[in-house]
Amino acid sequence: MNKQPLLASCRNISKSYQKGQILITPLEKLNLDIFQGEFLALMGPSGSGKTTLLNLLAGIDSPTHGELLFKGEDMAHYNRRKLTRFRAKNVGYIFQLYHLVPVLTAYENVELPLLIQNMSSSERHRRVTKALELCHIDDRSDHYPRQLSGGQEQRVAIARALVTDPPLIVADEPTGDLDSESAHKILELLAYLCSELQKTVVMVTHDPKAAQVAHRTLHLDKGVLVENQDNAGRYDKESSCG
Ligand SMILES: Nc1ncnc2c1ncn2[C@@H]1O[C@H](COP(=O)(O)OP(=O)(O)OP(=O)(O)O)[C@@H](O)[C@H]1O
Ligand SMILES: [Mg+2]
């Protein structure tokens, strides 16, 4: 048995999209347990449903069928308002192309998720400064995204994902647009979030080397999820994936 508490569970999850006459079902009866503090890599061919699964875990979308438990509560039928609240509290999202707001500085980009929270400006300042420091990008806080390298932009994006202190960080190909040295720094940072801050990280990647930093690697293909036996890391595989 895994000694870490469960963070999220997919129970017989299916997701379909109706496009005109065609029904697309990238995820079908998928089962997955995700434990607190683990680093999970998700691989698979293009179109296999990796982003779809990430979006379900992040509360950006809802499953068509099945149970999606987060800390034991089924969020499969949450309405938009509940999903928005869930995301603000629990999830930091990191994208391949950073998605920073170009007219805001690095500092202001990181501050953005806090503006919808009821928080004093001094507390906001404390949190933004801490997140920028953690991501080693505090020396660029007054730079605009266009004045940053790709790796620096991604570190700002990670600071933005972290600033609300969510238990879950999801990252969709976070190193896909970076050179190998910048990618390495980003992967180190994500691993640090798990080991030192007890964050749970679910990362989609096409790069087997990037996946090696994770505790577990899952392969998604034709709706089936298979665990890589090579890098099971410190997590007990039993009953964690099906
Ligand atoms: N909003 C949507 N409406 C209709 N079909 C969708 C939608 N989102 C995804 N799909 C379809 O679902 C399937 C899975 O898409 P998804 O984006 O999850 O793949 P992926 O594994 O992330 O691929 P990639 O590696 O290229 O990013 C694809 O066939 C895609 O066309
Ligand atoms: Mg994708």
Q: Is the dihedral of CA 163, 167, 172, 177 positive or negative?
A: positive
Is 173 strand, coil or helix? coil
List of residues 6+ apart from 224 with CB closer than 8 A? none
Q: Is the beta carbon of 66 within 6 A of some atom in ligand 1?
A: no
Ligand that comes closest to the CA of residue 171 = 2
Task: For residue range 60-114, list pLDDT tens digits in order.
Answer: 999 999 999 999 999 999 999 999 999 999 999 999 999 999 999 999 999 999 9
b/e per residue, 164-199, with b = 16+ CB within 10 A? Answer: bebbbbbbbbbbbbbeeebbbbbbebbeebbeeeeb
CA distance 209 to 180: 10
Ligand 2 centroid to Cα of residue 53, in Å, is 9
User: Ligand 1 within 6 A of 48 CB?
Assistant: yes
- With a 6 Å cutoff on the Cβ, whether 49 touches ligand 1 is yes
Where do the DSSP E strands lie in the chain?
6-19, 22-35, 39-43, 65-70, 73-74, 91-94, 168-172, 200-204, 216-221, 224-227
Distance CA 105, CA 166 (A): 22
Q: At what angle do helices 150-162 and 180-197 cross, to 10 degrees?
A: 20
Nearest partner of 161 among 218, 88, 63, judged by Cα: 88
- Cβ partners under 8 Å of residue 31, min gap 6: 10, 11, 12, 13, 225, 241, 242
Domains and CATH numbers, the chain: 6-25+35-100+167-227 (3.40.50.300)
- The tokens describing 57, both together, are 């875990």
Phi first, then psi: give them for residue 15, nearest 5 degrees: -135, 125
> Which residue's alpha carbon is nearest to atom 8 within ligand 1?
52
* Smallest-distance ligand from the CA of 15: 1
Task: Quote the pLDDT of residue 233.
Answer: 44
CA of 46 to the centre of ligand 1 (A): 8
Tens digits of per-residue pLDDT, 227-242? 875 554 443 333 333 3
> Rounded distance, CA 194 to CA 201, Å?
7
Compute, in angstroms, the gap from residue 175 CA to the centroid of ligand 2: 13
Separation CA 228–CA 108 (nearest Å): 40
Q: What is the structure's pLDDT at 2?
A: 59
What is the predicted pLDDT for the residue at 238? 38
Distance CA 174, CA 193 (A): 14
**Spans of the chain, pLDDT less than 50:** 1, 232-242
Question: In this predicted structure, what is the pLDDT of residue 237?
Answer: 36
**Is the distance from CB of 61 to CB of 68 less than 8 angstroms?**
no
CB of 24 shorter than 6 A to ligand 1: yes
Residue 35 in tokens: 């434990």
In testing the pocket of ligand 1, which one of 15, 19, 23, 50 has its CB within 8 Å of the most ligand atoms? 50
Q: Judge whether 187 and 175 are in contact, CB under 8 Å.
A: yes
Q: Which atom of ligand 1 is nearest to the CA of 15?
A: 12
CB environment 39-72: b (16+ within 10 A), e (fewer): bbbbbbeeebbbbbbbbbbbbbbbbbebebbbee
Q: Is the CB of 42 under 6 A from ligand 1?
A: no
